[in-house]
Structure formats: C-alpha cells, structure tokens
Amino acid sequence: MNGLSADLGELEALKRGLAAAPATCDVLVCPPASLIDRAALAAQGAFALGGQDCHAQPSGAFTGDISAEMLKDAGASAVIVGHSERRQYHGETNTVVAAKARAAWRAGLTAIICIGETEIERDAGQAHHVCGGQLRGSIPTEATAENTAIAYEPVWAIGTGRTPNDDDIVAMHAQIRNCVVEHLGAVGQKIRILYGGSVKPSNAKAILSLNDVNGALVGGASLKAQDFLAIIAASPGR
C-alpha cells in the first residue's frame, strides 16, 4: 500500500534506466490498483505491470474489491495472489488463493502465487511442511509455466532486512521444485520460482545466482528506481 501519483516519476526513471541499460530479464511492476492505468502510460511498454491482489469473481456485490478483469482492463498482465500479508491480515486460505489464481487465468493474467513460513514455523522445523501444504493447496492443477509463477517469501524476512542464508534458500527452492513436479508433473519443471524477502541491491546478485532461483519478488527496494535498477542489473546474463 505505497504510491501516489507523485511517485510515477520513479516509474519514468525506471523506464529511462532500462532504455540506457536494457534488462536481460523480465521486469514487472505491481503498483496499487489506483495507479495501474497511469503507470501503463509511464511505462510505455518498457516494463510490464501487475496487480497486487484480485477477487475470485469477475464482478458483483463485493464493494472495495477488484477483479482480475478490471486489472487486465487497466493494463495489467499479471497479479500477485496469496501474499503473506493477505493470508495474515485477511485470513486468506489456500482454497481462496487457488480461486484467485484461476480468476487471474480467466482474465488472461499470469498468477504469481506466494507461499512462505513464519519465524515460529521455521524455528519449529516446519518450514518445508508448511510451504509444501501451501503449494499443494494454492496451485490449481491447470497451472502452466505460461500462466503461473511461484514466489517463496519467508514471512520473517519481509521488510526486516533479514534473509535466509544461501543454503536455506537453495534447500527451500529445491523442495518447492520437487513439490510442484509431484503436484503438476513435468510442467512443474518449467514454472519459475521467485525468491522474495528483503531483496536489495547488496544481496540480489548472490540470491539470483542460486540454483532454482528464477527471479525475485522485490518489496521495499522496488519503490526507488535506482535500487530496483541495481537489482535488475544483478540478474544473471548481465
């Protein structure tokens, strides 16, 4: 819940930065819904846009919600579903998240399905069990590499400046890959797994170079074009 019209200047700076040093990765920005249409004008195709959440239904008496179709109409090509903050503060279950993923596909959006354990769950040795359950419950079996990405966000690392060590990230991403393949079959080998949780310019290169880390879901560091461009530049292949 960040961003006013005055902040569109950061997206214009991002566009200029990408023109000067083209990215070797896909770049997606998920602004608040109130800015998506204006962000599309600022982006002018330099990067893609997504929503931060959607309702499972295409329309109806759901005051205050936004549908995947509305996001698509505003200029989005993707939407985040099941973010830990939605699960924590809005009580979203795996079933709700799966319904939102299907809604995204219905509207022609890519669903970025988030999973992640709390600090208590990690300390109790339950991280892999919790994330496996979220994967199986949140990812519909119709998922493909074209319509779905998975974002692993250890809840205790979001906005705290803390990150798991490299071995922990590799182990969890390997577990996620195994779970997705078990759940979806061969399709699961191709679905992108993103890491999220205090990704910043100083650690992005190391994280993005890890096995089975296929991208990053960036939070606070994406609010400033300079920081976000530094993370984009850290993508392998640069």
Active site residues: 83, 153
Q: Token match 């991280």: residue? A: 127
- The one-letter amino acid code at 94 reads N
DSSP code for 6:
G
Neighbouring CB atoms inside 10 A of 128's CB total 18
Give the N- to C-terminal CA distance of the chain in Å, as an integer.
Answer: 31
Tokens of 64: 């205050």
Tokens 């690392």 locate to 157
Tally of residues, the chain: 238
Whether the CB-CB separation of 213 and 195 falls below 8 Å is answered with yes
**Distance in angstroms (rounded) separating the CA atoms of residues 13 and 183:** 41
Q: DSSP secondary structure string, 29-93?
A: E---GGGHHHHHHHHTTSSEEEES--BSSSSSS-TT--BHHHHHHHT-SEEEES-HHHHHHH---
